[in-house]
Amino acid sequence: MITERPPSSEILTRLLSLHPKRIDLVLGRIERLLARLGHPEQALPPVIHVAGTNGKGSTCAFARAMLEAQGLTVHVYSSPHLVHFHERIRIAGQLISEADLVAVLDECERANQDEPITFFEITTAAAFLAFSRVAADALVLEVGLGGRYDATNVVVRPAMTVITPIGIDHAEFLGESIAGIAAEKAGIIKSGVPLVVGNQDDVPRDVIARTADALSAPLYVFGQDFFAHQEHGRMVYQDQRGLLDLPLPRLSGAHQIENAATAIAALRHAGRGWGRDAAVEIGLRGVEWPARLQRLVRGPLVAAAPDGAEVWLDGGHNPHCARAIARALADFEEKSSKPLYLICGMLRTKDAAGFLAAFRGLVRHVVTVGIVGAEASMGAGELYDVARRVGLDASPADDLEDALLQVTALARIAEGQSAPRILICGSLYLAGKVLEENS
């Protein structure tokens, strides 16, 4: 594990200053840089390109685990990172080394010649450069934001495209129309390239289907062409090739069954011999994806929690995701009843009221915190006001330590009840801070 500020951080800091905006959705700048680099995006292994609002990171994690269980070598590109930037670039199964990261960042910085380019664009170019230089059987490529004008969408002929569930998020960039957001996500669909679509509401599903039809992209839709559900403590997956009786995914929550099914369908329909039954089962058991209903079992924050408490962490930050988390917690409650407490921190750019409202009738108390180091973080008092407005019992805290002290005091007052279940949630930035502090 990286414990000191690495040299790559100095380059990354410089790259942040190359464009006045963190996000500016066009493709011209990265296309210019990739041309100067010799078009590394044209020298990639077969690409599984994954867009969506929720579940795309988990779907990528499932795909990687299943491919590797088949003995294949896999690159992965994901964002954002939780603790260290290196998490974004996985080369042939391993996080990119510091030396390799410095080398590709330096090369991209020199090729860019101080011209305007966003941080995500230039670091995506660096990732493509790294991927192009190491042989692999597949690249699992996660969209950063949107789809049509996302920097990853310079890959013109992926092996497979995937769109996971779509909801309202990043409205300041994608708008507040679910149909408009779906159209942006559908921008990754390519002519003749197979498309797998996760569980969608009617409007985004119809937008995606029309786009796929216009581009003659073979379409496989959850609930129509493939299915999955939990039955007797197992996961049942079915498509036209037959039925698979599988173990439940290692990642918790019913929504992860849907994400796993989407990954299975993508591998089975890519036409490359991926997704063998035995590898699917091994991948479900072995998949790892931090801060997605992750149970924390050791570390300083766990030690500070009440005796016997369960401490969970999730980086979800929009109402659609909150509803999935709430359903999972309701399932936990049905199996093992414990009073639920939330420790929540969110950004001002997110729908905090919609997120917190998903937990009405389920959570006993919400402790709100600010997110250290996140400029757009809501203050603890500001988020407390939101929690109260949506009808939740709440209190603000100075930091995570104070939040855990408050939960401990509240749990002690509620005598005769079982040890609490604590969920730390609301932001991937907060999740990263939790993992850093709890290591």
258-267 tens-digit pLDDT: 999 999 999 9
Specify the pLDDT at position 170.
Answer: 59
Closest of 80, 196, 89, 191 to residue 136, by C-alpha:
89
pLDDT in tens, 395-425: 999 999 999 999 999 988 765 667 999 999 9
Q: Do domains 8-286 and 294-437 have the same CATH topology?
A: no
Specify the pLDDT at position 251.
Answer: 96
Look at strands 242-247 and 89-91 and give their pairing.
unpaired
What is the rounded distance in angstroms from the CA atom of residue 115 to the CA atom of residue 54? 33
Per-domain boundaries in the chain: 8-286, 294-437
Specify the pLDDT at position 415.
Answer: 58
pLDDT in tens, 56-76: 999 999 999 999 999 999 999
**Terminal Cα-to-Cα distance of the chain (whole angstroms):** 10
Question: What are phi and psi for residue 381, nearest 5 degrees?
Answer: -65, -40
Specify the pLDDT at position 439.
Answer: 84
Cβ 50 vs Cβ 164: under 8 Å: yes
Segment 253-261 shows an average pLDDT of 96
Q: Write out the E strands in 232-362.
A: 234-239, 242-247, 294-296, 310-313, 340-344
Segment 368-378 shows an average pLDDT of 94
Question: What are phi and psi for residue 345, nearest 5 degrees?
Answer: -135, 140
Examine the pLDDT at 3 and tell me if it is beyond 60. Answer: no
Examine the pLDDT at 224 and tell me if it is beyond 90. Answer: yes
What is the DSSP secondary-structure string of 347-408? Answer: BTTS-HHHHHHTTTTT-SEEEE---TT-TTBPPHHHHHHHHHHTT--EEE-SSHHHHHHHHH
Mean pLDDT of all residues belonging to the chain? 94
Segment 249-253 shows an average pLDDT of 95
What is the rounded distance in angstroms from the CA atom of residue 150 to the CA atom of residue 56? 14
CA atoms within a 13 Å half-sphere pointing along the CA-CB vector of 269:
25
Question: What are phi and psi for residue 313, nearest 5 degrees?
Answer: -135, 130
Burial of residue 244 (CB within 10 Å: 0-12, 13-18, 19+) is buried
Give the residues across from 195 on adjacent strands. Answer: 161, 219
Segment 175-195 shows an average pLDDT of 94
Q: How far is CA 123 from the centre of its chain?
A: 18
Q: Write out the E strands in 31-133.
A: 47-51, 74-77, 89-91, 94-95
Q: Which CATH fold topology does 8-286 show?
A: UDP-N-acetylmuramoyl-L-alanine:D-glutamate ligase (3.40.1190)
- Please state, in angstroms and as integers, the Cα–Cα distance from residue 401 to each residue in 168, 300, 346, 368, following that order: 32, 10, 17, 12
Cβ 236 vs Cβ 261: under 8 Å: no
Specify the pLDDT at position 140.
Answer: 98
Which residue type does 207 have? Answer: V
From the options 3.90.190.20, 1.20.950.20, 3.30.1960.10, 3.40.50.2300, give the CATH code of 294-437.
3.90.190.20
Helix, strand and coil in the chain, % to nearest 5 = 45, 15, 40
Which residue type does 385 have? Answer: D
pLDDT in tens, 121-149: 999 999 999 999 999 999 999 999 889 99
pLDDT in tens, 22-42: 777 889 999 999 999 999 999
What is the rounded distance in angstroms from the CA atom of residue 283 to the CA atom of residue 58? 12
- What's the pTM value of the predicted model, to 2 decimals? 0.94
Contacts by 68-71, CB closer than 8 A, 24 or more apart? 68/93, 68/283, 69/278, 69/279, 69/280, 69/282, 69/283, 69/286, 70/274, 70/275, 70/276, 70/279, 71/279
What is the rounded distance in angstroms from the CA atom of residue 236 to the CA atom of residue 243? 7
Query: How many Cβ atoms sit within 10 Å of the Cβ of residue 341?
Result: 26
Cβ 127 vs Cβ 152: under 8 Å: no
Q: What angle do CA 244, 250, 253 make, to 5 degrees?
A: 90
